[in-house]
Structure 1
Amino acid sequence: IVLRLRKQSVASHLQDYSALLTGLLLAVSIPPLAPWWMVVLGTGFAIIIAKQLYGGLGQNPFNPAMIGYVVLLISFPVQMTSWLPPYEIAATTPDMLDTLRMIFSGHTASGGDMTLLRIGIDGISQATPLDTFKTSLRAGHSVEQIMQYPIYSGALAGVGWQWVNLAWLVGGVFLLWQKAIRWHIPVSFLLTLALCAALGWLFSPATLASPQLHLLSGATMLGAFFILTDPVTASTTNHGRLIFGALAGVLVWLIRSFGGYPDGVAFAVLLANITVPLIDYYTRPRVYGHRKG
Structure 2
Amino acid sequence: MNAPHLTRPVRVPVLMLKVWLALLPGIAAQTWLMGIGVPTQILIATVSALGFEAAMLALRGQPIKVNLLDGSAVLSAALLALALPPALPWWLTVIGSFFAMVVAKQLFGGLGNNLFNPAMVGFATLLVCFPAQMAQWPAQAPEVQATWQAIFGLSPFDAIASATPLDHFRTLSRQGLPFDATTDPRFAWVALAYLLGGLYLLAIRLVPWQLPLAFLGGLAASAALGQLVGQTASPLFHLAAGSTMLGAFFIVTDPVTAPSTPRGRLIFAALAGVLTWVIRSFGNYPDGVAFAVLIMNITVPLLDQLTRPAAFGHKGRP
Cα distance in 2, alignment partners of residues 214 and 52 from structure 1: 34
Residue 139 of structure 1: CA displacement? Answer: 4.3
- The match for 1:138 is 174
- The match for 2:198 is 172
Matches within 5 A, 1:170-249: 170-204=196-230, 207-249=231-273
Name the SS for the 2:173 alignment partner: helix
Are 1:129 and 2:165 an aligned pair? yes
Which of 97, 103, 117 is residue 145 of structure 2 equivalent to? 97
RMSD after superposition: 1.6
- The match for 2:40 is none
Residue 61 of structure 1: CA displacement? Answer: 0.4
Residue 275 of structure 1: CA displacement? Answer: 0.6
User: Structure 1: where are the runs of 5+ without partners?
Assistant: 88-92, 108-112, 119-125
Cα distance in 2, alignment partners of residues 272 and 65 from structure 1: 15
Cα distance in 2, alignment partners of residues 7 and 117 from structure 1: 45
Name the SS for the 2:249 alignment partner: helix
**Contact 1:157 1:212 (8 Å CA) reproduced:** no
Residue 140 of structure 1: CA displacement? Answer: 4.9
**Contact 2:178 2:232 (8 Å CA) reproduced:** no
Deviations 1:233-286 (A, max 9, x none): 001011111111101011111111111111100000001101111111011111
- The match for 1:275 is 299
Cα distance in 2, alignment partners of residues 63 and 157 from structure 1: 30
AA paired with 1:242?
A: L
Aligned length: 263
Deviations 1:171-197 (A, max 9, x none): 111111122211110001111111111
Which of 91, 107, 115 is residue 158 of structure 2 equivalent to? 115
AA paired with 2:205?
A: K
- Misfit runs of 4+, over 4 Å: none
Cα distance in 1, alignment partners of residues 215 and 192 from structure 2: 16
Higher relative helix content:
2
- The match for 1:255 is 279
Cα distance in 1, alignment partners of residues 294 and 75 from structure 2: 17
The normalised TM-score by structure 1 is 0.85
Deviations 1:154-211 (A, max 9, x none): xx4444221111111111111111222111100011111111111111232xx44211
Cα distance in 2, alignment partners of residues 184 and 94 from structure 1: 38
Give the fraction of aligned pairs with identical amino acids, expressed as a percent.
52
Residue 77 to residue 106, structure 1, CA distance change in 2 (3 Å): farther
Name the SS for the 1:187 alignment partner: helix
**Contact 1:237 1:284 (8 Å CA) reproduced:** yes
Cα distance in 1, alignment partners of residues 253 and 186 from structure 2: 25
Matches within 5 A, 1:18-97: 18-85=72-139, 87=140, 94-97=142-145
